[in-house]
Amino acid sequence: MPLKLMTVDDSATIRRIVASCAAGLAPEVEVLEAEHGQRCLDLVARSRPDIIILDINMPVMGGEECLRRLKENPETAAIPVVMLTTESEKAVVLRMLRMGIAQFMIKPFTREEFGEKVGAVLEQHGLAELIGPLPLLPPGEYLLVVEDKPKVIEQIRAGAPEAWGIVATADPREALRILGARAPIAVVANLGLGPEKVFEMFAHMRRTPERQGVRYVASCLRTNEDLQARARAHGYLQLLLKPFTPEEMEALLRGWRRADVRATPSGDAYVIQAARGRFSEQADALLAAIDRAAEEGFVKILVELSPVDQADQERAAMWKLIADHASALGVRAIYVTRLEKVRTWLRAGAETRGLPVVAEVTEGLAALAA
């Protein structure tokens, strides 16, 4: 039985993007298109969809009115509706949730985000058979390996502690679904599956709430320095270079234990300090701390990195990662580093996107208060 999905948007481009995303979501898909709310109601009366992807701002009839009528009608009230809109105001999101939407997605979005969110809604509404079952997850802690080479999967298994389970898939979209079911210790993904696909999968995983504490490791050939540089430029600093020995795998795991990131509220700001470990080992713990700060309602954060002189390339990727992540969450960040040459370097570069860099935590707190 095909998944019947309706996309309601006044933009033909968005309708086609949604149709294309839906095609990657289930083996068989039938897409119904409507350019405004009234057309949606007309179509729903004739052909009931399994799920509706609904914009808010449209001519003729907007998404809010359309949603109200769908929910008032007993014959259509149970159809799950996912809002897909540029509106991101808290008041709008809350109003839509009260009206009974199943999920809220903000444009722009990635195909992976679409797959995960719409897939989860279908599962919650008993329609999982339309998109296929999840693999059985092992009990306890596990590594999620996105890899198509059985030999590499076995090497990772050999290097990991015995108590850890290994779940392997060669499909980044499937990996997103697995991550949504239960967070692993780490995701190890082969860039050879398509670097852009893997970067996008990682980026989406980093934005999902289930990612707290998850580490992201990109694997690629030791000889492919270009790909390694691209991974670092995208903010993926932990690399597993192939071929690797069990000792190298163990060294990677030791690094996770070494990283020490502390996060404490100070007044109306949140102070995040990374004291030990290399940037690559701290990255995911730092991002998780920024997530926690945002979730707890802090809009001001102070990020202090350990005064360790590390490679410019790694440092640049780290700062850019923090700046982008804070910006996406609407958090105002100030950076603290005691090394003058690093401050000078940061102020001259574009990595911090023009955000302030200071020498001491007290100085940063004063700047945030001002």
Partner 1 sequence: MLELVSEAALVGAADVFEMMARVRPAATEAPGPRVQGTWVSGIVGLGSERIRISLVVHFPLELARDLTARLLGDPRGARGENGHLVRDAVGEIANMIAGRVKSRVGSDRHPLAVSLPAVVEGREFAIAQGGRAERFSYRLQFPSGACWLEGAVFAPERRPPNGP
Which residues are at the interface with partner 1 (CB under 8 A)?
Answer: 10-14, 16-17, 20, 57, 59, 85-91, 106-111, 196, 200, 327-328, 330, 353-354
Number of helical H runs and strand E runs in the chain: 14, 15
How near is the Cβ of 60 to partner 1 at its closest, in Å?
Answer: 12
Q: Which two tokens stand for residue 359?
A: 């020498």
How near is the Cβ of 7 to partner 1 at its closest, in Å?
Answer: 13
If the CB atoms of residues 338 and 353 are measured against partner 1, the closer one turns out to be 353
How near is the Cβ of 131 to partner 1 at its closest, in Å?
Answer: 19
If the CB atoms of residues 96 and 185 are measured against partner 1, the closer one turns out to be 96
Q: How far is the first Cα of the chain from the last one, in angstroms, to the nearest whole number?
A: 60
Contacts of 22 (CB under 8 A, 6+ apart): 3, 5, 7, 29, 31, 118
How near is the Cβ of 71 to partner 1 at its closest, in Å?
Answer: 24
If the CB atoms of residues 108 and 140 are measured against partner 1, the closer one turns out to be 108
Tell me if residue 22 falls in helix, strand or coil: helix
How near is the Cβ of 152 to partner 1 at its closest, in Å?
Answer: 26
Which amino acid does the sequence have at 67?
L
If the CB atoms of residues 58 and 187 are measured against partner 1, the closer one turns out to be 58
Measure the CA–CA gap between 288 and 259, rounded to whole angstroms: 13
If the CB atoms of residues 137 and 355 are measured against partner 1, the closer one turns out to be 355
Measure the CA–CA gap between 25 and 115, rounded to whole angstroms: 6
Cα dist from 322 to 158, 228, 236, 287, 350, whole Å: 33, 20, 12, 7, 13
- Total number of residues shown for the chain: 370
Q: Which two tokens stand for residue 58?
A: 């449209």
* 102-103-109 Cα angle (round to 5): 155
If the CB atoms of residues 139 and 354 are measured against partner 1, the closer one turns out to be 354
How near is the Cβ of 327 to partner 1 at its closest, in Å?
Answer: 6
How near is the Cβ of 182 to partner 1 at its closest, in Å?
Answer: 26
Tally of CB atoms within 10 A around 96: 21
Measure the CA–CA gap between 222 and 204, rounded to whole angstroms: 26
Measure the CA–CA gap between 172 and 194, rounded to whole angstroms: 10
Rama region for 267: left / alpha / beta (φ>0; ψ in -120 to 50; rest): left
If the CB atoms of residues 20 and 223 are measured against partner 1, the closer one turns out to be 20
How near is the Cβ of 275 to partner 1 at its closest, in Å?
Answer: 30
If the CB atoms of residues 69 and 230 are measured against partner 1, the closer one turns out to be 230
